[in-house]
């Protein structure tokens, strides 16, 4: 149990450092780092505060604290990944609409140029 | 390219890397429907599709990024709607759809009162050669769509379709991006629009090979099933 909690603490600190480093190097935007920060901080708190972990394990009906920790880690990362899927879907929709709009505007611009050339 | 008649028709040809076939497709359409506007939607092809289509006499809408079939078709629908066309018929750029069937689809669009006309391979005893997996897929989706549409559809995967301006308005705002044919039927049903099937011929591709594999077929079935049921969940109130 102790080793697992220490490993989780290390993993949370590494994740926090990675997110901060990525923001500083502008590899990740601040608004997309919030969910990773939330996940890393939650894990840090749980790994440093075993009483809270036992309480949560009780809420979920899991008698084994390490198993509860793995369950919570999995759930948190699934939530973060789901949020990212929503964001990616929005971005894809926007990209498609923009691509279509650019193509249509280019087409209409060429038509106008063609008409002007014919008139001139 | 501007519509000049109340029953104006635009023929759209989505194409991706179809330089070997698209020129002949455009020429055949021009022979069958002289004077009709033809728009090839080049889905960011890596070959000379756009240039070949222009040389054959089509207008070309060039997408700056590859969007896939649904995105390309929707771009054509958007442009057609903005330019004011009354009817749009879509035919594939690989030459599998016979342009001699376009007048039949156009007549049905004008006279049937339906918002969509589907060129069907399986009417009047026509039987198109399809692979085993595709044939099973078509049968499966006929069975799935029957209760949703409230009537049978013989060729739900046909990409040879015509739409009128009402459907154009809907599709220019909302159109499935991957494997659009089946989902488009459910989108229309959501709006309580009607469709009719007319017999059409299917030919072998003029060039190139189909990219559909067995694995992709299974992905297709799951993807389309999900899309169909999501659209069913979005059901709207009955039109008055």
Output the domain CATH number for residue B77: 3.90.550.10
Q: List the single best residue of B64, B80, B85 to mutate versus A (max A Cβ within 10 A).
A: B64
Residue B238 pLDDT > 70: no
Whether residue B20 lies inside any domain: the answer is yes
Residue A107 in contact with partner chain B when CB distance is under 8 A: yes
Give one DSSP letter per residue of B172-200, joined into a string.
HH---SSSHHHHHHHHHHHTT--EEEEE-
Sheet bearing B116-120, strands edge to edge: B59-62, B37-42, B9-15, B87-90, B161-164, B116-120, B195-199
CB atoms within 10 A of CB A24: 9
Question: What is the ipTM score, two decimals?
Answer: 0.85
Residue B82: closest C-alpha in chain A: A104
Residues of B with CB under 8 A from a CB of A: 1, 59-65, 67, 71, 74-75, 78-79, 82, 177
Distance (Å, rounded) from C-alpha B181 to C-alpha B157? 5
Arithmetic mean of pLDDT, B47-56: 96
Residue B41: closest C-alpha in chain A: A103
All residues of chain A having their beta carbon less than 8 Å from the beta carbon of residue B227 are: none
For B117-140, the pLDDT digits (tens) are 999 988 876 555 667 777 788 888
Residue B239 pLDDT > 60: no
B61 closest CB neighbour out of A95, A96, A107: A107
Residue A12 pLDDT > 60: yes
A70 or B1, higher pLDDT = A70
Whether residue B216 lies inside any domain: the answer is yes
- Residue B154 distance to chain A (closest CA, Å): 31
Q: How many domains does chain B have?
A: 1
Whether residue B185 lies inside any domain: the answer is yes
Q: Using the beta-carbon criterion (under 8 Å), do B78 and A100 form an inter-chain contact? A: yes
Out of A7-21, A99-113, B38-52, B117-131, pick the least confident. Answer: B117-131
Distance (Å, rounded) from C-alpha B58 to C-alpha B90? 14
Q: How many CB pairs under 8 A join A and B?
A: 35
Domain residues of chain A, as ranges?
2-119
Print the domain residue range for B88.
Answer: 9-233
φ, ψ (nearest 5 deg) of residue A4: -65, -45
pLDDT-derived band at B4 (thresholds 50, 70, 90) equals low
pLDDT-derived band at B42 (thresholds 50, 70, 90) equals very high
Residue A16 pLDDT > 50: yes
pTM summary value: 0.84
All residues of chain A having their beta carbon less than 8 Å from the beta carbon of residue B82 are: 104
For B199-215, the pLDDT digits (tens) are 998 887 766 666 667 77
For A72-87, the pLDDT digits (tens) are 888 988 998 999 999 9
Going by C-alpha positions, the residue among B229, B238, B235 that lies closest to residue B144 is: B229
Q: Using the beta-carbon criterion (under 8 Å), do B78 and A96 form an inter-chain contact? A: no
Arithmetic mean of pLDDT, B165-182: 89
Residue A109 pLDDT > 90: yes
Share of chain A above pLDDT 90, in %: 38
∠ CA A68-A74-A76, nearest 5°, is: 100
Amino acid B240: pLDDT: 41
Q: List the single best residue of A94, A96, A97, A112 to mutate versus B (max B Cβ within 10 A).
A: A96
């Amino acid at each position: 149990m102790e080793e697992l909690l220490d490993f989780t603490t290390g993993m949370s600190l590494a994740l926090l450092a990675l997110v901060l480093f990525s923001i500083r190097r502008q590899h990740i935007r601040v608004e997309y780092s919030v969910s990773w920060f939330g996940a890393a901080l939650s894990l840090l708190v749980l790994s440093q505060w075993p009483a809270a972990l036992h309480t949560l394990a009780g809420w979920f009906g899991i008698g084994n604290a390490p198993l509860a920790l793995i369950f919570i880690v999995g759930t948190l990362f699934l939530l973060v990944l789901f949020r990212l899927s929503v964001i990616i879907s929005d971005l894809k929709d926007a990209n498609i609409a923009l691509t279509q709009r650019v193509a249509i505007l280019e087409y209409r611009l060429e038509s106008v140029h063609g008409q002007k050339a014919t008139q001139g | 390219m501007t519509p000049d008649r109340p029953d104006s028709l635009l023929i759209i040809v989505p194409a991706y890397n179809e330089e070997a076939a698209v020129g002949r497709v455009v020429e055949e359409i021009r022979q069958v429907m002289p004077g009709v506007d033809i728009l090839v939607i080049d889905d960011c092809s890596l070959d000379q599709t756009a240039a070949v289509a222009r040389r054959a006499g089509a207008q070309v809408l060039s997408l700056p990024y590859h969007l896939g079939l649904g995105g390309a078709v929707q771009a054509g629908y958007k442009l057609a709607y903005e330019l004011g066309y009354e009817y749009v018929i879509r035919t594939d750029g690989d030459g599998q759809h016979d342009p001699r069937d376009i007048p039949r689809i156009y007549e049905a669009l004008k006279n049937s009162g339906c918002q969509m006309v589907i060129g069907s391979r399986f009417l009047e005893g026509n039987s198109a050669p399809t692979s085993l997996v595709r044939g099973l897929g078509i049968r499966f989706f006929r069975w799935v769509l029957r209760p949703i549409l409230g009537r049978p559809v013989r060729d739900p995967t046909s990409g040879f379709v015509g739409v009128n301006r009402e459907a154009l308005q809907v599709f220019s705002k909302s159109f499935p991006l991957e494997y659009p044919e089946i989902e488009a039927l459910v989108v229309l049903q959501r709006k309580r629009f009607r469709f009719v099937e007319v017999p059409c011929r299917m030919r072998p591709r003029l060039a190139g090979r189909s990219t559909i594999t067995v694995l992709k077929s299974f992905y297709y079935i799951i993807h389309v099933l999900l899309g169909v049921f999501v659209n069913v969940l979005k059901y709207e109130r009955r039109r008055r």
